[in-house]
């Protein structure tokens, strides 16, 4: 039998070694590219989401409205805005704009479009998790109890909503290669989605029949899941993970099909 080494030579790495090296290199590069010019440098990767969450806490939380039930307003904001504004919206945006970023790697055969998307997702997720930890520490210091009641399930909910943004980002990226106007549409859908996805209110305060209408929106389900897992005394009236799972699988099938048909044109453009 011919070994791999005899066939390709000793310097050839396995596909997995190449890809993991590339994704790590890209993630580091993306970080420097975005934040390298600032005085505080890559620390901004953390400060940015933290500042955003803090501002939302001030705007919505300080009013101390009663509709959150017995969930403390700052915790509610953290459990809603971090998944939606960082994990969903930013994943979507970062993957969507990957098509424009890939041109810089024309000479590097190792770097594929998907690697760049993966690297950006990795960076977004890691910064989201780190800022979650930092904000939680801050809240604990002030006297709240920021630890989710069911930690693993909460993290799974965060991963689920990130995957939705990732898949949708791939589809938008492919559509954007047909018409640049797609950027305008992605900009437009963000705000309505914020209102329709049970971000700053729990589904318990939505009356029927709107509760049923809203629960057709797949994004409601991971948001409610995170809430339910984070605060054990909250029970969502609409949570249906099966429904969301079907959405996710179909979305990713479509995303992968789109990507496969179109990545050459995106890279060549």
Partner 1 sequence: MIRVTRLTKSFLMKGGRRRVLRDLSFEVPSGSNLAIIGGEASGKSTLVNLIGGVDYPDRGKIRRAGTISWPFGQMRYERSMTLSQNLRFLCRVQGVRDFDDIQQQVHELTGFEREFGNPVEMLRQPEQRLLNVALSLSFSFDIMLLDGKPSFNNLPNKERFEEKMAEKMSQSSIILATGKPKEIGREYAYILVLDGQSGRLYDNRRDAIQAFKASVDNRPVTVDNNQSKTVDTPPVTEGGNVRGIRN
Contact residues toward partner 1 (CB under 8 A) are: 7-9, 11-13, 15, 17-19, 21-22, 24-25, 28-29, 32-33, 36-37, 103-111, 260-261, 264, 267-268
Phi-psi group of 47: left, alpha or beta (phi > 0 → left; psi -120 to 50 → alpha; rest → beta): alpha
Q: For residues 132 and 162, is the Cβ–Cβ distance under 8 A? A: no
* Residue in the block written with tokens 């429904």: 243
CB of 5 to partner 1, least distance (A): 11
CB of 256 to partner 1, least distance (A): 14
Distance (Å, whole) CA 209 – CA 207: 6
The DSSP call for residue 179 is -
Distance (Å, whole) CA 217 – CA 236: 15
Distance (Å, whole) CA 124 – CA 48: 11
Within 8 A by CB and 6+ apart from 31, the residues are 42, 45, 123
Q: Which is nearer to partner 1, 24 or 210 (CB)?
A: 24
Q: How many CB atoms lie within 10 A of CB 193?
A: 16
CB of 207 to partner 1, least distance (A): 50
Q: Which is nearer to partner 1, 147 or 269 (CB)?
A: 269
Q: Which is nearer to partner 1, 119 or 168 (CB)?
A: 119
CB of 111 to partner 1, least distance (A): 6
Q: Which is nearer to partner 1, 32 or 210 (CB)?
A: 32
Give how far Cα 138 sits from Cα of 49, 60, 67, 269, Å. 14, 18, 24, 46
Q: Which is nearer to partner 1, 8 or 178 (CB)?
A: 8
CB of 101 to partner 1, least distance (A): 10
Distance (Å, whole) CA 172 – CA 166: 10
CB of 27 to partner 1, least distance (A): 10
CB of 33 to partner 1, least distance (A): 5
Q: Which is nearer to partner 1, 102 or 238 (CB)?
A: 102
Q: Which is nearer to partner 1, 109 or 242 (CB)?
A: 109
* Residue in the block written with tokens 């009013």: 63
Distance (Å, whole) CA 109 – CA 38: 31
């Amino acid at each position: 039998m011919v070994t791999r080494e005899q066939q390709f030579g000793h310097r050839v790495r396995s596909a997995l070694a190449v890809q993991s090296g590339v994704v790590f290199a890209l993630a580091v590069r993306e970080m420097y590219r975005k934040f390298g010019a600032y005085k505080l440098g890559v620390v901004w990767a953390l400060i940015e989401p933290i500042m955003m969450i803090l501002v939302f806490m001030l705007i919505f939380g300080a009013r101390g409205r009663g509709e959150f039930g017995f969930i403390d307003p700052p915790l509610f904001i953290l459990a809603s805005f971090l998944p939606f504004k960082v994990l969903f919206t930013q994943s979507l945006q970062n993957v969507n704009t990957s098509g424009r970023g890939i041109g810089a790697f024309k000479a590097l055969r190792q770097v594929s479009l998907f690697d760049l998307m993966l690297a950006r997702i990795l960076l977004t997720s890691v910064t989201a998790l780190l800022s979650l930890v930092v904000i939680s520490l801050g809240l604990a210091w002030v006297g709240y109890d920021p630890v989710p009641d069911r930690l693993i399930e909460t993290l799974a909910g965060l991963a689920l909503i990130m995957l939705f943004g990732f898949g949708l980002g791939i589809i938008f990226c492919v559509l954007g290669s047909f018409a640049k106007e797609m950027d305008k549409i992605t900009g437009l859908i963000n705000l309505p989605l914020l209102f329709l996805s049970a971000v700053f209110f729990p589904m318990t305060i939505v009356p029927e029949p709107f509760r049923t209408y809203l629960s057709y929106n797949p994004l409601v389900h991971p948001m409610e899941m995170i809430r339910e897992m984070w605060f054990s005394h909250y029970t969502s009236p609409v949570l249906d993970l099966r429904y969301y799972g079907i959405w996710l699988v179909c979305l990713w099938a479509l995303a992968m099909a789109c990507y496969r048909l179109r990545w050459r044109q995106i890279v060549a453009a």
